[in-house]
Structure 1
C-alpha cells in the first residue's frame, strides 16, 4: 500500500466509525481540540480530514453548533412532467410528493405586490416596472427544509380574480394548473431550465444546509395561450431531491 498523508488516515478512521455504526447519523463529532488530542495531530490536519469527509457527503457543519454525521434520509423524487398534469385533487404538487414519501409537509408563503425588475420583465414578456405579485415559499417536510423559491405573476392578469393573492382566498395552496384553470386561463405549457451552483449564505440559512451543499436551481416559466403568466426560481438542495423526467415521444408512423 502506498503512502497516505496523515489527514487521509484520520479521515479513513472517522469514516470507519461512521460505516460501522460507532458514529450514528445525526450524532455530533468531538470538538476540534478533542480530535487533535485523540489523534495527536494539529488543528490543520483535523480540518483537512473533516473537509475530506464533508466532500464525501458523510459530515456536515452547522455554524455555532459543530460537525455532525450527515443523516442519510432518502431523497424525494420530483417527477416531471407528471407533477403538472391535472389531478383528482388541486393541491400543489409538493403535497403529493410528501404524501408519496410518507412525510408531513409545511409551507411558509409570503406575497407582496411589487414591480417587475429587468430580469423578471424579460421572463414574463412585460415592461420593466409593470405590476407583479411576488411570492416567497419555503417548503419543509418532516421539519426539514427541502426547497425555497420566489415566484412572480403578472398582476394585470390576476387582479380582481379569486387567485389574485396566491397565499389567501379560495385557491390558496392549490397548484399552478388548478389556480389558472379557475379563472378560465388554462396553462398550456411549462418550461424549465435547470442549473447547479453553491448556495448563498442566506440560502444556506433558509434551507438549513452546510455552505458546501450544492443546489439545483430551476427556472420555471408557465404559459397560457396568450403568453407567460408566472415565472419561478426554485432552489433545491441536491442531496434532498432527485429530479426525474419522462420524455414523451410522438407515436411512430408505421410504414
Structure 2
C-alpha cells in the first residue's frame, strides 16, 4: 500500500486538534516554523498542510499576522426537485438559502459529440452539438461545475441555439425548448461519488482527490428523445444535495 503523503498526515493531526477545541475560534495558531518543528517535518510540508485546512474552511490566513482558526464554512443545500419549472436554469440553481450567486458560461457550437455523450443523447458519434461549460459561485466561492451538451439537430437555426444568449438566455432547458415546440417530460439524474481531478480542483479551489458528487443528468422530451445531457460536479465540502419528491395522493 502506498504511504500517505506527509502533508496529509500533518493536516489530519492538526484537524483533530482544531476540532477538539485546542485552539478557540479566532485564536492564532503557533507559527508554521514552530509547528513544523513539533511534527518533525519541513516548512514546505507544514505549509501544504495548513493550506489544505484553509481550503477546507477550518483556518484562515491573515497577511502579516498569521494563521487563525475560523468559524467552519457553512455547506449550502442544493435541492433537486421534480417541482422545479426551470430545469437547467443557472439563476434557479443559485437561489439556495437566499444566497446571492453568479455564474460564468462559455458555449461552443458545432462540437462533434464524443462517443459517451452520443450514447446518452441517442445520436451518432460525431454528430454536431452545442457544448456549454458553467462555473457557479455563491458568496464568492466556487460551488459547482457543469458541462452541458445539446444536439444541434434540435436547436440549429433557432433563437435558442446558445443557452446563455438570445431572448431566453438563462431561462433553463424546459422554457427554452418549449419556445420551439419541444415539450420536456422527464429528467433523469444519476448521482455518483467521485474524487476531484486536477482540472476540477483548480476550478473549484479544492485539492486533487477531494470528495465530489458527480451528477449525470439527461433531459427527455414527451417522445422520449434526449434533448440535453450534462455532467454536474459539486464539491462535498461546499454543498450538500437534497432530493425532494412530491407525494402522489391518489
Structure 1 pair 236–18 and aligned structure 2 pair: CA distance change class (3 A): farther
State the 1:14 CA deviation: 4.2
TM-score between both structures, scaled by the size of structure 1:
0.75
Residues 8-27 of structure 1: matches in 2 within 5 Å? Answer: 12-16=16-20, 20-23=24-27
Structure 1 pair 23–96 and aligned structure 2 pair: CA distance change class (3 A): farther
> Are 2:25 and 2:69, in contact at CA under 8 Å, matched by a contact in 1?
no
Deviations 1:184-228 (A, max 9, x none): 112110000000111011100101112342100000000002310
Q: Could you say what the CA RMSD is over the residues aligned between the two structures, in angstroms?
A: 3.4
State the 1:75 CA deviation: 2.1
Aligned to 2:232: 234
TM-score between both structures, scaled by the size of structure 2:
0.77
CA distance in 2 between counterparts of 1:23 and 1:35 reads 15
Aligned to 2:158: 161
CA distance in 1 between counterparts of 2:59 and 2:210 reads 9
> Are 2:58 and 2:72, in contact at CA under 8 Å, matched by a contact in 1?
no
> Are 2:186 and 2:221, in contact at CA under 8 Å, matched by a contact in 1?
yes
State the 1:180 CA deviation: 1.0
Verify: 1:214 aligned to 2:211, yes or no: yes
Aligned to 1:244: 242
* Aligned counterpart for 2:222 among listed residues 225, 238, 246: 225
> Are 2:159 and 2:166, in contact at CA under 8 Å, matched by a contact in 1?
yes
Aligned to 2:4: none
Structure 1 residue runs of 4+, over 6 Å off? Answer: 7-10
Structure 1: any 5+ residue segments left out of the alignment? 1-6
Verify: 1:179 aligned to 2:176, yes or no: yes
Structure 1 pair 106–169 and aligned structure 2 pair: CA distance change class (3 A): same
CA distance in 2 between counterparts of 1:125 and 1:223 reads 11
